[in-house]
Structure 1
């Protein structure tokens, strides 16, 4: 079948009015995956009427999917004009970089044999462990929580949008003095009043490993793109938006911060992945623990999320005495 025959005709596009967001996002992903740019360009001949129009939403998602795939569309006047009009209208996807940044190199990547980390051995095999220190224990006791509901929602947005089975935990803390890099580990995290680390752990214990900003961003992207096991896939364009919003929230950056400045700030921060066999986590399909220490070494953000097959979970509860 030729590309021209697969591309939706104007009548089909009109029929998308009022379509569910997931249908539009799935179609955009399919178009960006299967279409060459010269054929897609015909989608952008008329400027968008509003940021909420279904046809504009489809095209905004196509542009976002193309950016993820590293497909350049600069110097194509119709597409450039359409993208500029989306920015003028305030479409949320139009705020994102037009091309994929180095920080995003793992967005959408599928590496054979590399899936969710489900055991302490897997975590240690992929990342260097952050040893516990006496300084970390002492510093954890001095941390002061700085609640921020809006920032918490943004930090957890990828998991919430993806329909993970449990409400994520996103918490923020300030320290009276800079924390040494070597003291940023599980001993420090255990001193914080985190629900996900409360109680005595099971046989798997607790551990933390060093990671980097691109790994944290990729975790946010996957959480939204694929959705929870019983959740709602957001597809690439919106998963990218949730990943950036979550990253900015974890770093405590204002929304208007330029993306390259955010990348530099993230690189100067110190990142941890952590795992804890506590009752808060499901220990089933996916568990995520992330913590970041800002460049001043005086502010910490922690994000934890867990997912399970809710039908299996309820079945297990029904079988318990």
Structure 2
């Protein structure tokens, strides 16, 4: 029991009324000190609890899965500022047999508060190439899962665009991961120098909704800064002209770019762009661990949809079809906006199928 538990509040109020404010200040100081200590202890409990959940999730076998399920079900632990369930789902998909996961988490239903874990785990498995139809419990989840949930928009089978997804490697002692954002050697179409210093008369036409869609993956990964722009062209432009046009567009990410400053650009395939956006969202930036596989999948698709100009309300299949019909570019530049650090800067541009719309995403993880 705290020394303050038995404090006679009526006597304290009487002292205050008598002008004895010093004793009330002393009481406040004691309370402040005890509160600070309680917060410190709570944070330590959270840290230790998170480690216990991590170890259970990383330990293969149905026994550890059963105990983890019981802990999550009965105690519903909160382990920090973000809900732990997407992270737990990612660990489970990385370290356990699909049959064990299906039997433990999808055959025993009834705890609705764990549907978030099931939904995240389902998409983590899909991204790793698991066919839900091969496991009755997973197949039934596609029918009974909450239809209102944001992840319900995602397809229940892995798209060809998603086949090259990158995942972190985790163990009890740590993790290793990286976002593959460096400009490749293959497919380079750098514009010749010196380039024109004239800026294009085109104007950014991105609406607030389109802007939010384009930057969705970068925002989810909590990178340092991001920008999005959409330019509508008066006439169709050939893909070969886009590398010359990009550095002239009125975008802050290319402000100050001189006629001979480095501007590198490469043609990329839609799956390579999706892979970059997925890594950005799922694994996060230098000071963040991202939103993990399930939500990384969602926000990568959201960014692809905005970049390729998919209509509002389009399905994942419709977004994929439009992405396949678009022409994609990956660029870097020596400007103040970009910092040139490895795996910390990139730009993406998409030329629409009718070749009359160019959408651009710029991302940097350097403050």
Q: Give the shorter-chain TM-score range.
A: 0.7 to 0.9
> Would you say 1:158 and 2:223 are equivalent positions?
no
Q: Note the C-alpha offset of 1:239.
A: 0.7
Paired residues for 1:14-163 under 5 Å:
14=73, 15-16=75-76, 21=82, 23-41=84-102, 42-47=104-109, 53=113, 55-74=114-133, 76-88=135-147, 90-108=148-166, 116=180, 123=183, 125-131=185-191, 141-163=200-222
Q: Note the C-alpha offset of 1:172.
A: 0.6
- Counterpart secondary structure, 1:184: helix
Q: Provide structure 2 residue ranges, at least 5 long, that are not aligned to the other structure.
A: 1-58, 169-177
After superposition, the C-alpha distances for 1:256-295 in whole angstroms (9 at most, x for unaligned) are 3233332232122111111110001122241111001101
Q: Provide structure 1 residue ranges, at least 5 long, that are not aligned to the other structure.
A: 311-321
Rounded to whole Å, the distance in 2 between the matches of 1:220 and 1:2 is 30
- Residue 64 of structure 1 contacts residue 236 of structure 1 at CA under 8 Å; is this kept in 2? yes
Q: Aligned-pair RMSD on alpha carbons?
A: 2.9
Give the 3 Å change call, closer, same or farther, for CA 159–196 of structure 1 in structure 2.
same
- Residue 267 of structure 2 contacts residue 328 of structure 2 at CA under 8 Å; is this kept in 1? yes
Rounded to whole Å, the distance in 1 between the matches of 2:60 and 2:251 is 55
Rounded to whole Å, the distance in 2 between the matches of 1:25 and 1:180 is 42
Q: Which residue of 2 aligns with 1:3?
A: 61
Give the 3 Å change call, closer, same or farther, for CA 17–279 of structure 1 in structure 2.
same
Rounded to whole Å, the distance in 2 between the matches of 1:37 and 1:208 is 41
1:220 to 277, 281, 290: 277
Higher relative contact order (CA 8 A, sep 6+): 1
Give the 3 Å change call, closer, same or farther, for CA 83–229 of structure 1 in structure 2.
same
Taking structure 2 as the reference length, the TM-score comes to 0.72
2:318 to 239, 261, 264: 261
- Residue 211 of structure 1 contacts residue 273 of structure 1 at CA under 8 Å; is this kept in 2? yes
Give the 3 Å change call, closer, same or farther, for CA 281–2 of structure 1 in structure 2.
closer
Aligned length: 295
After superposition, the C-alpha distances for 1:76-114 in whole angstroms (9 at most, x for unaligned) are 4433333322243x111122111211111221268xxx9
Rounded to whole Å, the distance in 1 between the matches of 2:330 and 2:165 is 18
Q: Which residue of 1 aligns with 2:50?
A: none
- Residue 144 of structure 1 contacts residue 175 of structure 1 at CA under 8 Å; is this kept in 2? no
- Residue 350 of structure 2 contacts residue 358 of structure 2 at CA under 8 Å; is this kept in 1? yes
Rounded to whole Å, the distance in 2 between the matches of 1:126 and 1:271 is 14
- Residue 68 of structure 1 contacts residue 108 of structure 1 at CA under 8 Å; is this kept in 2? no
2:353 to 291, 295, 308: 295
Q: Which residue of 1 aligns with 2:336?
A: 279
Q: Which residue of 2 aligns with 1:314?
A: none
Q: Rg larger in 1 or in 2?
A: 2
Rounded to whole Å, the distance in 2 between the matches of 1:251 and 1:3 is 43
- Residue 22 of structure 1 contacts residue 233 of structure 1 at CA under 8 Å; is this kept in 2? no
Q: Note the C-alpha offset of 1:211.
A: 1.3
Q: Which residue of 2 aligns with 1:313?
A: none
- Counterpart secondary structure, 1:280: coil
- Counterpart secondary structure, 1:145: coil
Taking structure 1 as the reference length, the TM-score comes to 0.82
